[in-house]
Amino acid sequence: MSFNHASPEITGASKQEVILIRHGQSTANASGVWQGQLEFPLSEEGRRQAAEAGQALKQIEISGIYASPLARAFETAQIIAREAEFPGEVVPIPGLMERHGGILQGRTWADQETNNPEFVKEFLALPEEERWAFAGAETDEEIMGRFEKAFSKILSRHPSGDGSIIVVSHGGVMRAFLRDRFGPSVLPDHERAANASITRLLHDPADDNTALQLVELASTSHLPRGETRQTRAE
C-alpha cells in the first residue's frame, strides 16, 4: 500500500532512506500463536517472502542492515542481505525486539477464549493502551523507550546519508512506532504491517531531532501472492 506523506522538497538526494521491514511469516504466525519475545523460526513461506523482499531491494545501494535478534527477524534480514547482494553483516539490535506479551505469549487467542474467558472479557473492555499492562505485557511507552533509542542509534551510524538503511523488526513494535510518529490513522484498529512488507521513511541526517517523513506504508507489491495488512496479534 502506498501512503505518501512526502512533499516535493523532502525527496532530494540529501535525504536518508530508511526501509522498515516486518519479518517473514513464522511458524507461529502460520498457526495463530502470539509470539511476543518467544522464539519461533521462519516458515518456508516466510523464507520465500524474505527472499522476495531481498530481490526487490537488489537494485538499491544499501549502507547497512539491522535487525531484531529474535530468530524470525534476524533470519529474514540475513536472507534479504543475501538476495540483495549486500556485502556486510547484519547487525542485531536488541531494542528492535517485539513487545513482551506477558500472558499472551505462546498461546492463540482461541486458547485464551476457551481457557481464560474472564481475562478475555476484561482485556477487551479496556482501551488498547491499558490492555498491555493488564496482560503483564510491555506498554507502548516501554516499547517506545527502547525502540526510539535503537532507531536513533542506527541513524547515528550513518551521518552522511549515503545509501538506504534496512531495519527488520516486528509487527507490534513497528505499529507502535509508526502510530507514535505519524498518528492513529496509520495502521488503525488492530492492523499490523503484513509479513515481509516494506515501509519507506525519509530522514534528514542534518536533523538532530530525527524527524521522519512517511513515503510508503506496508507495501506488499513485491510479494506476488498479494499479501495484505494483518490484524493478527504478534
Residue 25: is it exposed, middle or buried by C-beta count within 10 angstroms (0-12/13-18/19+)?
buried
| pLDDT mean over 48-75 | 97
Domain holding 13: CATH number? 3.40.50.1240
- Flag whether 42 is in a domain: yes
Catalytic residues, by residue number, are 23, 98
Determine, yes or no, domain membership for 159. yes
Residue 84 lies in a domain: yes
Lowest mean pLDDT among 32-41, 152-161, 163-172: 152-161
Average pLDDT, the chain: 89
Q: Residue 67 carries which DSSP code?
A: E
In this structure, what DSSP letter does residue 192 have? B
Q: Quick check: is 14 in a domain?
A: yes
CA–CA gap between residue 145 and residue 165 (Å, rounded): 21
Range 27-31 average pLDDT: 95
Structure-block grid coordinates of residue 33: 500463536
| pLDDT attached to residue 7 | 35
Task: Supply angle C-alpha 93, 95, 100, rounded to 5.
Answer: 125
pLDDT computed for residue 11 by the predictor = 41
Q: pLDDT at residue 176 above 50? A: yes
Domain range holding 178? 8-101+138-219
Confidence (pTM): 0.90
The pLDDT of residue 209 is 55
Domain count, the chain: 1
Look at residue 97 and tell me if it is in a domain.
yes
195 assigned to some structural domain: yes
**Integer CA distances (angstroms), 14 to 18, 137, 159, 204, 207, in order:** 13, 39, 11, 7, 11
Kindly state whether residue 124 falls inside one of the protein's structural domains.
no
Name the band, by pLDDT with cuts 50, 70 and 90, for residue 200. Answer: very high
